[in-house]
Structure 1
Amino acid sequence: MVRGLCGLWLSALAAAAEPERCNGIDDDGDGTIDEGPVAWGLDADGDGVGSIAALSLTPSCLNTPTGGTHLVGDCDDGNGLIHPGAIEVCNGVDDDCDGTVDEGGVCLCERFVGVGSTWLACTTGIEWSEALDACHEHGYHLASIPDTETAELLSRVLSAWDQDFWVGLNDRQDEGIFEWEDGTSSDFEDWSDDEPSNGLLGYGILEEDCVELDAGDGGRWNDQPCGAEDAYLCEIECVARAWFPDLDGDGLGDGNAGILACEHPAATVPNAADCDDGDASLPGVFYIDADGDGAPGTPVVACAGDAVPTDCDDADATLQGCDGALSGSELTWGDGALEPPEPPYGFGCSCSGPETGRSAALLALLLLGLRRPRQRSPVVRGAKAPGVCGDQGR
């Protein structure tokens, strides 16, 4: 039963534009709706969407294990507010699991990196305390500017906006003693002329206890009343990088579902090299017909193609064989043996007969690059290699 189910699933993947899902639609275009096998996932947070990190197969849409659902794609199964179809909000999180954070204009924040930190320049005008809370909701803090290098970076980047940005500097606790949000003192200073003034120059009667960075003045500082509404600058001391789900555990990530994070999220990898993240055997080694003689020979990593080489010299259209049908050519396994070894399998072939006088060993190449799911290489299609899904070639 396992062999039959796996074989059916592989056949469906090879022929389908999309794998079948339980959604009332003929996803794979075979004329049948919601036929098995179909994916399901555990739904630990109860939001109705199964985790992409706990993906399995069931024979049909009628077979759903306890605690699971056929609606899969949850990128954070520990948070019921995060799942496909959720409303994206301005919080530094991929709420709708589409691989993009805070898209769709939900918040006017732009992320950039530099001097060992990741920054958010948010152009919505809010009060200083509101900016403090907004940064914390992102997992950031209001920015600190400890040295000339940081000040020069911010001056250069923020010059694109003619706005004032709240930073974490303030003297709310002790007038005239400026500290950053975390309570550390400011040893570096970059005040505008005649600042800080605390409102003593006739600009108002309110105390000016919070500090803004003036992007129109080279990024220099000015103290302002904390109730004024400014843009704000958030910071986290790390450089975020992209991580990609690895559902099938083959070490290759799904390039359609990346997330940005400073720390390594569970069940992710730092590459987007998987063309089918539901099948650990894909991408596999298949063979291109490079010389156009009709016999596939050059090994590549792809999601579909000929899993057995039949061309002993794919640079010469006059030479082929390797299937035992032509004198002087033979199909061998990866170690040169004529009989299959224990899995995993590899193939080679050679042109060793007196008619050719030539030999070439084609071994499997581990050519891992960025590929999109279900992207097809220009290969000659054929059967999957022996041993896939426990078949062992029997």
Structure 2
Amino acid sequence: MHSIISLGLLALMTACTDGSVSWDMSPDETPTDTGCQESTWYRDLDEDGYGDADNSMLACDAPDGYVGNALDCDDTSFAINPGANEVCNGLDDDCDNEVDDGNAWYLDHDADGYGDSAFFYEDGCDGSTYLVANPDDCDDTNADVNPAAEEVCDEVDNDCDGQIDIDATDASIWHIDADGDGQGSEESMESCDQPSGYVASSGDCNDHDPDVYEGATEVCDEVDNDCDGDVDEGAELTFYADADEDGYGNPDATTEACTAPDGYIEDATDCNDSSADAFPGATEVCDGIDNDCDGEVDADATDASTWFADADEDGYGNCLEDTDACESTVACEQPDGYVDTTGDCDDTDASVNPDATEVCDGVDNDCDGSIDPSSATDAGTWYYDGDADNYGDEDVSIVQCDQPSGYVDNTGDCDDSDGEVNPDATEVCDGLDNDCDEDIDPDTSADASLWYPDVDEDSYGDEDGTASTSCEAPSGYVSDSSDCNDLNEDVNPGATEVCNEVDDDCDGDVDEDVELTFYADADEDGYGDETTTIEACTAPDGYVANDNDCDDDEGTTNPDADEYCDSVDNDCDGDIDPDDSLDASEWYFDLDEDGYGDESDSTVACDQPSGYVATDTDCDDENADVNPGESENSYALCTDELDNDCDEDIDADDVECYTDVDLDGQTPLAGDCDNEDATVYDGATETCDDDVDQDCDGEDDVCEVVDTGDTGDTGSYSSLIEIGWVDLTNSSITNGAMVDVYKFNVSASSDGDVSTNQFQLSLDWTDTDSDSDLELESVMFYQDGSDVTSSVSITDEDGNDVTDTDGLLEDDETLIVTWDPEGEISAAETVTFIIRVTPSGFDTGDSVSLFLGEGDWESADEMVPESDLDSETWAY
């Protein structure tokens, strides 16, 4: 703190020093004039107004590059000094011996040292040079705008003081012009723009009188009209003494006054004011006096003077230097054609003489030996025209008779470097004073735009509003004039038409193409029917805005309804009775298909899925013989180490295993393989072909199809080349499955046609339970290497054609199969013929005998007995 006070005093001391007086600051002494006392000045290398304490010098006055303070902590950086703002940059910007010590940090987009208060950085200084501690920047996109900037005339608040162009450094000085004479008084103000009632020039010594200003004509009125400090100077009238009272004044005796004093008159033509007889108009006599005051003494008098010939009658004789060579005469009075003066250099031209006015005409008018000098009365003032636009620069001129190259006779060019700028130019909107009237881009500019008021600020102007013409858009005006309602920002040609009974887009149509579609809601459930619609801005009664109802006759069916297992799409999602229906059942996977499911593997659905059941009590879903419906009722089941009935008791632990349920005297553990059938137990008699293991030996005595070997006679109808009967086994015949039972070959004895062949088929059937049949599936053939084709027809024993029926061959039924080959066959070829049947209802104990023979029958009456046919018998 002490050092700061000392520096302040030093600065004060320096400010009070005028070069000859210094201050001795000892407490007990008063200042005395001791001459120049040197002060300490500090080097300001970075020119920021703050000096380097380590670089100083003594001097009476501040040397260039030095200042009176030593407060700069880094004299190599203009941005670092006590007046700087702290910036988040790892430096002590404001020289307070603390680095980045701002309490709050703000983003400095334009890097001018002042931050934007709208961008407060909550995380503190993180080393970013775009963070500063000062938030006073009013435009953080422009580095030339901040509180330290100079205010200039640019319509911008440069120094962020809330005022635009106030106290601008380049503001003009304007003088008040109270009397409107175009010249102001010394009273002035500074402003960027010319204030009303002010002008740029001063010097008016009476700003209440429009006839008084610098340059005004001084008149005799006891007023300093031209403001030069003198009153009526050069404006008083000259009056001449008339001593001889002859009415002619003496030009050599004058007085200046506004009105004639006594003894003075306005005339100044008296050539002798001591003689009342000498005055202009008096009779000239040769008396040595210019009686008539015509400038000639004794003209035509007895003592007349010499007169010179004046041929051009311009008052000058034709004599120059040698008067002897002149034509002259002597007389008191001037002879005609003579004058008393010489010097005429061209006595043939009255406009040429020593008293003539020199003009620009290629002639020495005043006989001074110089032709058309710059002093010629009509010599022109020529102004330099640097841009060749026929308007000159009034500050660069020359006076002469002939126009110099590059000069013109007029001024007014306010920019002689631009040929497009002159008083005759057209003012356009380009930021220039094109016509040199000191008015830049006025509203009268040739290309000024027409602007329309935009009251609702929607960027569309009111075509009926009062338009304004200017180069730039006035505040609240736009170039567009298509707004049909300038009091509503939502109504303009760029707006979207909405359904509101208003022409929103200003196209002349109201609500066109924007009416909404509403859907009938017959069941009043809030959801509409997509097939019944109406167009309107608002929903009519009975209509809604959505079309999501899939059944508008049922109020409980809509997208918001709950789904139930009722074969109806309750919630209109396109899915009927989905798995998430509220009353859906849980189904359990039944892997072993025993009718009992696995409780650990389930699904939820309205309908029972394939492979699933409603119960979940199967304790082993990989074994169909294990489930709650089974029982531990046989020796095998009571010794298999399985919980067959899922009661959590295995084998001997299950009471069934040692209970004789069927009262056949044997329990399952004792060997009974069916504890529910008293005819089944270990040691019982086996009944063959009943699908029951009565003796519990694990086998049923007859359980496969076997060929009995019982073959009928071979009669005259057995001329087939046999391949043989098919040997059927249990694995090769299944109810409902087609099977080949007989194959044979047909051949020709020689090359040629194959004749028609017929076969007789009949069946003897032993059906133990009267539910069996044997269906003739087809009679077919195939061939090897021949061109033979054929057709087959079937006739029953009554002669009926049954070819297209189901071909069922029942017990004791006989069919005639006719094979009709077409085409040729060689002797080396054979055709294989196949009998194919499909058994149905084959049970244990059933047997069948099939009879086959070849013949040539005209009718069913010619059928032969079965004993004459080949046959084969099978049993099951």
Work out whether the TM-score is over 0.5: no
TM-score, structure 1 as length reference: 0.24
Compare CA radii of gyration and give the structure with the larger one.
2
TM-score, structure 2 as length reference: 0.12
Return the structure number with greater helix share. 1
Q: Which has the higher contact order (CA 8 A, sep 6+)?
A: 1
